[in-house]
Amino acid sequence: MFIRSVKINKSYLLFCTIVICILLILIGVYLLYPTSLPASSSNLIWGNNIEEGTSKKKSYIKWVDFNATYDVLDKTSKLDINSHNNGETVQYNWIELLSYLACKYGGNFKKFNQKDLNTLTQKLKNGSTMEELTKDMKNYSYYYQAFDAILHEFIGEYEIEVPNAGTEEKTYIKKYGVKAFSPIAKNYSFSHYDDFGNARSYGYKRVHLGNDLMGSIGTPIIAVESGTVEALGWNQYGGWRIGIRSFDKKRYYYYAHLRKDHPYVKDLTEGQIVKAGDVIRLSWYDWI
């Protein structure tokens, strides 16, 4: 058997390599993008303009660990409330303060230092804006959106009914402060079982996205925030329950494991609007 060596021209080899690469690129483009795309670059799927009616992938925060400590929540909320009630020139927003601190600590509020909060508020008093102070914090928008979704209706302006002096009439006055309620009525005792995130296997595997509050029969249950009743009745996972969605659709309050035969107040129906502080049930069986 004879083996004959062939000398290949380097220029020819380079040309063939280039042709093969171009063919591979064209095949890749053909497979990735449909041939029916319009010629106008303004309408290409990677362009800025998307025709009305086409589907657009939504980008939103699906999960966030909210681990702000009581100390941080207490101090930032008081700064917000006091600055509004005292008519100060600079009125703080506790969600902005929390978001700034979260960026500084990488979301770990155990690193909280009072000096950092003092420095921030002093800069704001001196005329700096939060936009200026956070322009280089790439995660500020993320934390603000997340914290605002959690705390949006907890502090703000509200109206309260007060009696008029010397008459039986009542009037409403505006106030600013905490406007969310504890789900347990005042002066009723309860215990707190911190089982958020624990595994659940009944029905299907999942994590428990709630905290159980155990109390005694006869404890009034209160609507934490104003909203619309979305769920009412019994299911195999929560037993007798009430589901209330906030008006901005960002928070869902799920009151579960309510007492059989007396799970909620009379005439409460799905679609009904409830106000923060309303009694939604008069007694419970075990926990909510």
What are the tens digits of pLDDT across the range 41-77? 333 333 333 344 455 566 777 777 788 999 999 999 9
Of residues 271 and 24, the one with the higher pLDDT is: 271
User: What is the rounded CA–CA span in Å between residue 217 and residue 258?
Assistant: 10
| 153-186 confidence digits (pLDDT tens) | 999 999 988 888 878 888 999 999 999 999 999 9
Both structure tokens of 246 = 């906030």
| 259-281 confidence digits (pLDDT tens) | 777 788 888 999 999 999 999 98
What contacts 24+ positions apart, CB below 8 Å, involve 83-92? 84/176, 85/176, 85/177, 89/125, 90/121, 90/124, 90/125, 92/121, 92/124
Of residues 38 and 224, the one with the higher pLDDT is: 224
Residue 112 has a pLDDT of 97
Residue 238 has a pLDDT of 81
Mean pLDDT of the chain: 81
Residue 55 has a pLDDT of 55
Contact residues for 61 (Cβ-Cβ < 8 A; gap 6+): 142, 145, 146, 149
Residue with tokens 């928070």: 251
Grouping H, G, I as helix, E, B as strand and the rest as coil, residue 222 is: strand
- In the chain, % helix, strand, coil (3-state, to 5) comes to 30, 20, 50
For residue 30, what pLDDT band results from cuts at 50, 70 and 90? very low
Of residues 263 and 120, the one with the higher pLDDT is: 120
Residue 168 has a pLDDT of 80
Checking if the pLDDT of 4 tops 50, the result is: no
% residues pLDDT > 90 (the chain): 50
- Global pTM exceeds 0.95: no
Other Cβ atoms less than 10 A from the Cβ of 285: the count is 16
User: What is the rounded CA–CA span in Å between residue 242 and residue 221?
Assistant: 11
Nearest C-alpha neighbor of 279 from the set 230, 244, 245: 244
For residue 231, what pLDDT band results from cuts at 50, 70 and 90? very high
Contact residues for 220 (Cβ-Cβ < 8 A; gap 6+): 185, 188, 279, 281, 282, 283
Residue with tokens 């010397």: 166
Checking if the pLDDT of 29 tops 50, the result is: no
The average pLDDT across 90-95 equals 98
Residues 208 and 195 sit within 8 Å (Cβ to Cβ): yes
User: What is the rounded CA–CA span in Å between residue 101 and residue 107?
Assistant: 8
Nearest C-alpha neighbor of 93 from the set 146, 158, 150, 144: 144
For residue 159, give the DSSP letter: E
| 99-111 confidence digits (pLDDT tens) | 999 999 999 999 9
Checking if the pLDDT of 23 tops 60, the result is: no
Query: C-alpha angle with apex 194: 214 to 100, nearest 5 degrees?
Result: 125
